[in-house]
Chains A and B, each alone.
Chain A
Amino acid sequence: MAASGRIWNTLTEPLIRQNPVTLQVLGICSALAVTTSLDIALTMAVSLTVVIVLSAGFVSLIRRHIPDAIRLIVQIIIVASLVIIIDQFLQAYLFDISQRLSVFVSLITTNCLVLGRTESFARSNPPLPSMVDALGNGLGYSLILIIIGAVRELFGMGSLLGISVLPTIDEGGWYTPLSLMLLAPSAFFLLGGLVWAIRSVQSEQVEVAEFDPIDDAEERR
Chain B
Amino acid sequence: MSDLGFLFLSAVFVENMPLTLFLGLCTFLALSKRPATAVGLGVAMIGVMGITVPLNQLIYTYVLAPGAWAWADQPELDLSYLSLLAFIGVIAATVQLLEMLIDRFFPKIYAAFGVFLPLLTVQCAILAGSLFMVERRYDIGESLVYGLGSGTGFALAVILLSAIRARLAYADLPDGLRGLGITFMLAGLMSLGFSAFAQMVAL
Chain A CB within 8 A of B3 CB:
no
Contact residues in A for B81 (Cβ distance below 8 Å): 84, 88
Chain A CB within 8 A of B121 CB:
yes
B184 and A195 contacting across the interface, CB-CB below 8 Å: yes
Contact residues in A for B126 (Cβ distance below 8 Å): 110
Q: Give residues in B with beta carbon < 8 Å to A.
A: 19-26, 29-30, 81-82, 84-85, 88-89, 92, 121-124, 126-128, 131-132, 135, 169-170, 174-185, 187-189, 191-192, 195
B195 and A76 contacting across the interface, CB-CB below 8 Å: no
A110 and B127 contacting across the interface, CB-CB below 8 Å: yes
A197 and B176 contacting across the interface, CB-CB below 8 Å: yes
Contact residues in B for A185 (Cβ distance below 8 Å): 188-189, 191-192, 195
Q: Give residues in A with beta carbon < 8 Å to B.
A: 22, 25-30, 32-33, 72-73, 76-77, 80-81, 83-84, 87-88, 102-103, 106-107, 109-112, 115, 183-189, 191-193, 195-200, 203, 206-207, 209-211
User: Nearest CB to that of B125 among chain A residues?
Assistant: A29
B interface: dominant SS: helix
Complex Cα distance A32/B81, Å?
A: 26
B191 and A184 contacting across the interface, CB-CB below 8 Å: yes
Complex Cα distance A201/B74, Å?
A: 62
Complex Cα distance A80/B92, Å?
A: 13
Partner of B26, one of A76, A112, A188, A189: A112
User: Nearest CB to that of A84 among chain B residues?
Assistant: B84
